[in-house]
Structure 1
Amino acid sequence: MDDGSKHDHSGWEAVVLAARERARSRQALMVERFGLSGDVQYDWSMDDAQITWSRDGEVFLTGRLTMIGSVSLAQQTWLWSWANESLPHAVLGDIERVRQFGEENDYPVLPWPGFNYHPELVAEARMAAASVLDAEGLWTESMDDGQLHFMVHNLVFAAERQ
């Protein structure tokens, strides 16, 4: 999709490089700090934008989800969550700020409602979004016909919530 925007390619590359490094370190820290490896189950809801992790049936961690976007493998397309009218409002969080960041900085991928699916471009978009919204981590739910991409925020040990 080309909307005629001027594109600051070197600026975009710098943003993506910084976002990629940030996402890698934050993801590793999230997994280590909160014990998200091994025999861990999770439950999530777009209606209330929540995710919980449990071990042996006991919830030990909760967090807030912001949906970044979705991939249709059948159509080979990406759709930003801010452009998807069928999503519950709660799961959108502040995703509109990502679109605005793209407009303000001439990075067309961010304000386009969708684009043809290219795994590397989707990865760049996810990481840039996570950086703009200061996410603690990224999370993907894969299905037969697609993928749902989320940011994770506000992680709290269940014992700390009481």
Structure 2
Amino acid sequence: MSTAQQPTDWNAWSREAVENMIASNAQWQRDFGLEGSPPYHWDLASATLSFDGALGPVLATVCLVGTSSQSEGSFLWSWANEAVPQQHGQALEVVHEFGRDNQLALLTTPRIQGGRPEATECLCIAARLQRAMGTFIDQRGDVTLYFTLLHLRLAAAENPLLH
């Protein structure tokens, strides 16, 4: 008797990725004292995101997964966006490769029609495949940026006695 492997239900797999990221996001925010809306600053060139949290400064290594535009009604993967520093696209290669291996157009099409729900799904899939600690979304005017948090740590506070 042979055991045939059932085909993957990609819709269920994707929903699970979103559910996992909701739980992960709540966890890292609690762990690092970042509940609410603490001040933050991201830098694409250094692939960092810093927060001023209740426990002190927190530094994250991030990957910009992509951006969406309300006016265009689309999501653009970072690997397809020449304006995004290359390291972000390189960090997404695992996602792109997974999409190619499994014939998943959502992960291999540079620009996807849709808005925040489609972009959030792409973000959570990327986070799952990158084994990210969580995700972060920021809106700047018409553009929304979708980040995975690859590493988080409390930043060393400066010691004024050393200066």
Shorter-chain TM-score tier: 0.7 to 0.9
| Residue 24, structure 1, aligned to residue 22, structure 2 | yes
Out of 94, 97, 104, the residue aligned to residue 97 of structure 1 is: 94
Moved more, 58-67 or 95-104: 58-67
The RMSD of aligned alpha carbons is 2.4
Distance between the aligned counterparts of 1:42 and 1:131, measured in 2? 24
Structure 1 stretches lacking a partner, 5+ long: 1-8
Give the Cα separation in 1 of the matches to 2:109 and 2:83: 18
Aligned-pair CA distance for 1:12: 1.4
Deviation at 1:75, TM superposition (A): 1.2
Deviation of 1:71 (Å): 0.5
Q: Which residue of the other structure, out of 50, 61, 72, is the alignment partner of 1:52?
A: 50
Give the TM-score normalised by the residue count of structure 2.
0.84
Q: Could you tell me how far 1:120 is from its partner in structure 2? A: 2.5
Q: Compute the displacement of 1:92 (Å).
A: 3.5
1:134 to 131, 134, 137: 131
User: Where does structure 1 differ by over 6 angstroms across 4 or more consecutive aligned residues?
Assistant: none
Q: CA deviation at 1:93?
A: 4.8
Q: Which residue of 2 aligns with 1:37?
A: 35
Distance, in Å, in 2 between the alignment partners of 1:39 and 1:140 is 12
CA distance in 2, matches of 1:22, 1:65: 18
Percentage of identical aligned residues: 26
| Structure 2 residue runs without a partner (length 5+) | 1-6
Aligned residues: 153
TM-score (norm 1): 0.84
Tell me, what secondary structure is at the counterpart of 1:159? coil
